[in-house]
Structure 1
Amino acid sequence: MLKTRLRDFLVTKDNWLFAVSDYFRRDGIRATLRYVPDENGERELNGIRYKKYDFGPAFEFMRKHKPEWVQDVHVVPESEVKQVLRPADAIPRLVNSDSRVRAIVKTLDLAGIPRTSMGVTGSMLAGLQNESSDIDFVVYGPVWFRARDAITSAKQQEGPIEEINEEMWKRIYNKRIPEISFDEFMLHESRKGNRGMVEGTYFDLLFVREWDQIKEPLLRGKDTVKMKIEARVTNADFAFDSPAYYKVEHDEIDHVLSYTHTYAGQALPGELIEARGIVEEVGDLKRLVVGTSREPKGEWIKSLTWLEKCGYH
């Protein structure tokens, strides 16, 4: 069986490229279509032009061309996979060819992060990046938090890694269209440290579980009602994962999941959160799911503790 995890890429026999979107598989590898050969495509690799597909158009394309692969994500049969591209394998190539990736890697080297725990995903992993491509930098496992702190320190020094400017923050906010105000968004983002700029290019510091952290799959349950809760976070070890996972203390809800990147790392253990989403029943357990769509309406997570500390009312 092919070993895959979140943020790996798959190349199929048709040269379609998919981003793996789950640690677990059912019937095939759970992924999302990203690039398809297209003579009018704006990207090129090895003499083949490719078209990039965003979330919505990818589903339309798949429903038309491979409807049997379409579930809540795209499920790629292992027999159709020609190659798995792993983010860690791209590091040596990119360190040699891209000064921006080299700057991030060197910063993490100094913090004692092993290069085997680093990776680059997205268009750069596929070799399909262009001038406007962001850098999707991956760090595997618990050392992610150390990497994040190293990036935060690097932003304070004179060097290629910088804090995001206001204009870029507005772009990020408007791209996601969250249900919290820009001020609330900025207060939460200000302490996360999972984004930055390097030589003028935006980058994400993405958390992916180490193999030994991949335990049991998230069972899908039955969606019931929308609900707003206040709850105390008891564990946020996987708050930067996808989906983000917050274990909470609450009469009904066991944990909160967010499928929206906006609410990754939104709260720390011990903090009181307000969250609104859909209650999903999984056996006897209830979870609150935020971000059931790409731009969730009427769903959010905010740390009331942090907003109060910041004097925000």
Structure 2
Amino acid sequence: MGSGGSIPQDTTMKPVRLRDFIEDRDGCIYAVSNYDNSDRIGCILRYVPEPAGERTDLSGRRYRKYDFAESFAWIREHKPEYLDTVHRVPYSDVVRVYKPEEEIGHVAARSVRVRRLLSHFPLPAGSFGCTGSLLCGLENAASDIDMVIYGDAWFTAQRQLRHLVAAGVIPAMSEGMWRKVYEKRVPEISFDAFVLHEQRKWNRGEFEETYFDLLYTRDYGNLDAVPPGKGEVLGRATIETTVTDASLSFDSPSVYAVDHPEISRVLSFTHTYSGQALAGEIIEARGVVERHGDERWLIVGTTREAKGEYIISKTLLESSG
């Protein structure tokens, strides 16, 4: 999609969805963090044009990368009208939408690492791409590869990664890398429990000394799978329950349908607990209870660090013990 003029919100444009990036009139670049983008686009500021910035785009413009806290401080000071639980950018302020599935050819053409990694994942055209700095042309030599894969193709890629590691084509994650991920996530569970859950997810790996993720995103036909919005907070709870449907457990938020007398779904807004349990497994989950219509949902990851909140598969822990 070109960069001239504002983006109209019309029916001919593909919907803006999770893991797309957008650019506003001032050249600021945001990561789309929501599926609910009907009125304004829910996103997080990532890159701001600055003459002394440490990143340079393909045209030579310099940018500074902002972390989560810094981005909210910048928005609060410079664009307070965007401030919400995320940053909400009106369509009239958007000059470009970066879509991973549309830009992947350009990304692969300039990155030999991406090209080599993709060669191991035969997936249908249009079902995958790269998000993050690679999508915007702002990567550096240390950048991770954030592969995004849409809908059912994600599960194909997950199986492919498992086979690639078993065959020795892609190395198993080293303990050093697991430690790095654990320290970045700072979860409420032990390192051993964390790795036990993570090792069976097959959604990340190391390739040519580069860390990569396989990130799930819904396909265009399934964007309304979970009603958006925050519910009425009813308090905190810890529950033990059986997962009945984990088909959206790698999404953002992760969604687990559960068989519980009061709670109908457990949602995780932190990537740490995505894919944490399989259908049929018993989980223990601690978080905040919200009312959504006639349902009550348990929300994990109500803060950035998800302090005091977690999901564990008791079935997995007991089977490994």
**TM-score of the aligned structures, taking structure 1 as reference length:** 0.95
Residue 52 of structure 1: which of 65, 90, 93 is its match?
65
Answer whether contact 1:103 1:198 (CA < 8 A) is retained: no
Partner of 2:246: 236
2-structure distance, mates of 1:115, 1:137: 14
Match status 1:21 vs 2:33: yes
Q: Which amino acid aligns with 2:117?
A: I
Partner of 2:120: 107
Partner of 1:226: 236
Partner of 2:309: 299
1:157-214 alpha-carbon deviations (Å, 9 max, x no partner): 343x322111111010011100000000010011000000111100010000001111
Match status 1:273 vs 2:283: yes
Partner of 2:185: 176
1-structure distance, mates of 2:112, 2:161: 16
Match status 1:82 vs 2:92: no
Q: Which amino acid aligns with 1:108?
A: F
Partner of 1:98: 111
2-structure distance, mates of 1:33, 1:215: 24
Shift of residue 268, structure 1, vs aligned partner:
0.2
Greater shift, 22-31 or 242-251, is seen at 22-31
Q: Which amino acid aligns with 1:80?
A: D
Match status 1:38 vs 2:50: yes
Alignment of 1:57-68 (within 5 A): 57-68=70-81
Q: Which amino acid aligns with 2:255?
A: Y
2-structure distance, mates of 1:29, 1:57: 20
Answer whether contact 1:20 1:30 (CA < 8 A) is retained: yes
Partner of 2:207: 198
2-structure distance, mates of 1:97, 1:64: 36
Q: Runs ≥4 in structure 1, deviation > 3 angstroms?
A: none
- Unpaired runs of at least 5, structure 1: none
Shift of residue 305, structure 1, vs aligned partner:
0.4
Q: Which amino acid aligns with 2:55?
A: R
Answer whether contact 2:17 2:37 (CA < 8 A) is retained: no
Q: Secondary structure at the match of 1:197?
A: strand
1-structure distance, mates of 2:108, 2:89: 31
Shift of residue 297, structure 1, vs aligned partner:
0.8
Shift of residue 26, structure 1, vs aligned partner:
5.0
Answer whether contact 1:62 1:69 (CA < 8 A) is retained: yes
Answer whether contact 1:232 1:272 (CA < 8 A) is retained: yes
Answer whether contact 2:29 2:46 (CA < 8 A) is retained: yes
Partner of 2:297: 287
Shift of residue 294, structure 1, vs aligned partner:
1.2
1:61-87 alpha-carbon deviations (Å, 9 max, x no partner): 000001111000000010010010000
Q: Which amino acid aligns with 1:202?
A: Y
Shift of residue 133, structure 1, vs aligned partner:
0.9
2-structure distance, mates of 1:116, 1:163: 28
2-structure distance, mates of 1:156, 1:148: 13
- Unpaired runs of at least 5, structure 2: 1-8
Shift of residue 290, structure 1, vs aligned partner:
0.2
2-structure distance, mates of 1:38, 1:97: 24
Percent of pairs identical after alignment?
48
Greater shift, 89-98 or 124-133, is seen at 89-98
1-structure distance, mates of 2:168, 2:231: 49
1-structure distance, mates of 2:127, 2:174: 28
Q: Which amino acid aligns with 1:274?
A: E
2-structure distance, mates of 1:150, 1:38: 41
Answer whether contact 2:16 2:37 (CA < 8 A) is retained: no
